[in-house]
């Protein structure tokens, strides 16, 4: 390259670099992000949130030194060609905890209390991501994959083994009367609790009540375990069965089995007409094929008649 060409090339490259930086900075603003049709709901909900003054890149840009140019290249190649789309079609994006901790590092210092709940993030949120509980914080109902803190996740530890199970460990202390004024306690622990307590998420009950507490009345462990569907028929046939306490036979049993359950008196004599052939999936859900074969080989003859009928007796 000659000196003359270098004198032209170097300024051109420098000018191009400056232009690229300017374009990158301009296109990194929230206003530009909101110019895409598919992003408008996200910008509108952001403007109405507590993060209204936080730029998109403050949360969505990783923290590495080369992340900015890599992100911009991906943005130019993937997002801008789709600027005319009215809805997002690519997978929902996840945020790293590092992006949130740039501003919220204090949450790892001791116990944080908000809206009547207390949590120690340094122990309870280990290995998780912030948007695992706070996905809708900035974009509200525009978020396509809404995740929020659930008591179920907490209960996995707070069973008195790895962490205390007392309500006041995480919840703002309240008297029983105060708790009964709000859901779900107003439904599950009020004067009519014996009829309504099953309306809540049963997995939460074990936080305070051992499994034996349910068995005392229901005669079976609650919530039902993974193996329960295989043996629930035997439990249902017990004289002291309490299935009907929670489950309506017509809506719950019959809708699943597609036949009246338990089978009514006289069903055995007419079950051949109720079954859709010798391998009816409804029957095999509870009965083994061998059960059918054992009975039918003994009583059903080659003529197709059952033993004890004139046709069967004459055909033998």
Full-model pTM: 0.52
Structure tokens at 20: 């690229």
DSSP letter string, 148-202: B--HHHHHTTTTTTSS---GGGTBPP--HHHHTTSTTHHHHSSTTHHHHGGGS-G
**pLDDT tens for each residue of 43-59:** 889 999 999 988 887 88
The pLDDT value given to residue 267: 83
Q: How far apart are CA 182 and CA 198, in angstroms?
A: 17
pLDDT of residue 181: 74
Report whether 301 contacts 307 (CB < 8 A): yes
Calculate the CA dihedral of residues 83, 84, 89, 95 and round it to 10 degrees: 30
Q: What is the pLDDT of residue 247?
A: 81
3-state class (DSSP) for residue 150: coil
- Those residues with Cβ within 8 angstroms of residue 185's Cβ, 6 or more apart along the chain or in another chain: 179
Dump strand ranges (E) for 46-125.
112-114, 117-119
The gap from C-alpha 244 to its chain's centroid, in whole angstroms, comes to: 28
What's the pLDDT tens digit per position in 218-275?
Answer: 878 777 877 787 778 777 778 888 888 788 777 778 777 888 877 888 888 888 777 7
Whether the Cβ atoms of residue 145 and residue 92 lie closer than 8 Å to each other: yes
Contact assessment for residue 243 and residue 195, using Cβ atoms and an 8 Å cutoff: no
How many C-beta neighbours within 10 Å does residue 98 have?
12
Q: What is the pLDDT of residue 311?
A: 34
Cα of first residue to Cα of last residue in the chain, in angstroms, is: 109
Residue-level pLDDT at 304:
46
Q: Whole-angstrom Cα distance, residue 182 to residue 174?
A: 11
User: Residue 263: which of 271, 272, 273, 255 has the closest Cα?
Assistant: 271
Residue numbers in the chain where pLDDT is lower than 50? 302-316
Q: What pLDDT does residue 310 have?
A: 35
Q: Where are the beta strands (DSSP E) in 5-157?
A: 112-114, 117-119
d(CA 20, CA 12): 12
């Amino acid at each position: 390259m000659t000196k003359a060409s270098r004198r032209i090339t170097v300024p051109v490259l420098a000018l191009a670099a400056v232009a690229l930086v300017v374009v990158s900075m301009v296109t990194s603003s929230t206003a530009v992000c909101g110019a895409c049709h598919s992003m408008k709901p996200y910008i509108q909900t952001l403007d109405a949130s507590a993060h209204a003054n936080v730029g998109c890149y403050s949360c969505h840009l990783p923290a590495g030194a080369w992340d900015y140019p890599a992100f911009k290249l991906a943005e130019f190649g993937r997002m801008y060609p789709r600027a005319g789309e009215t809805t997002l079609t690519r997978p929902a994006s996840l945020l790293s905890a590092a992006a949130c901790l740039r501003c919220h590092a204090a949450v790892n210092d001791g116990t944080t209390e908000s809206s009547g709940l207390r949590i120690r993030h340094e122990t309870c949120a280990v290995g998780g991501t912030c948007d695992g509980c706070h996905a809708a914080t900035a974009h509200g109902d525009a978020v396509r994959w809404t995740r929020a803190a659930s008591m179920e996740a907490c209960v996995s530890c707070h069973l008195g083994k790895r962490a205390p199970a007392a309500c006041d460990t995480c919840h703002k202390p309240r008297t029983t009367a105060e708790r009964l004024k709000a859901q779900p306690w107003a439904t599950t622990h009020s004067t009519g609790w014996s009829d309504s307590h099953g309306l809540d998420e049963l997995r939460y009950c074990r936080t305070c009540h051992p499994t034996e507490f349910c068995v005392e009345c229901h005669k079976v462990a609650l919530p039902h375990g993974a193996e329960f569907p295989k043996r629930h028929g035997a439990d249902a046939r017990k004289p002291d069965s309490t299935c009907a306490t929670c489950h309506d036979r017509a809506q719950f049993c019959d809708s699943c089995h597609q036949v009246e359950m338990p089978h009514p008196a006289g069903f055995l004599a007419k079950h051949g007409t109720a079954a859709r052939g010798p391998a009816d999936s409804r029957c095999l859900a509870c009965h083994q094929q061998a059960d059918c074969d054992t009975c039918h080989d003994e009583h059903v003859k080659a003529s197709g008649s059952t033993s004890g009928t004139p046709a069967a007796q004459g055909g033998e």
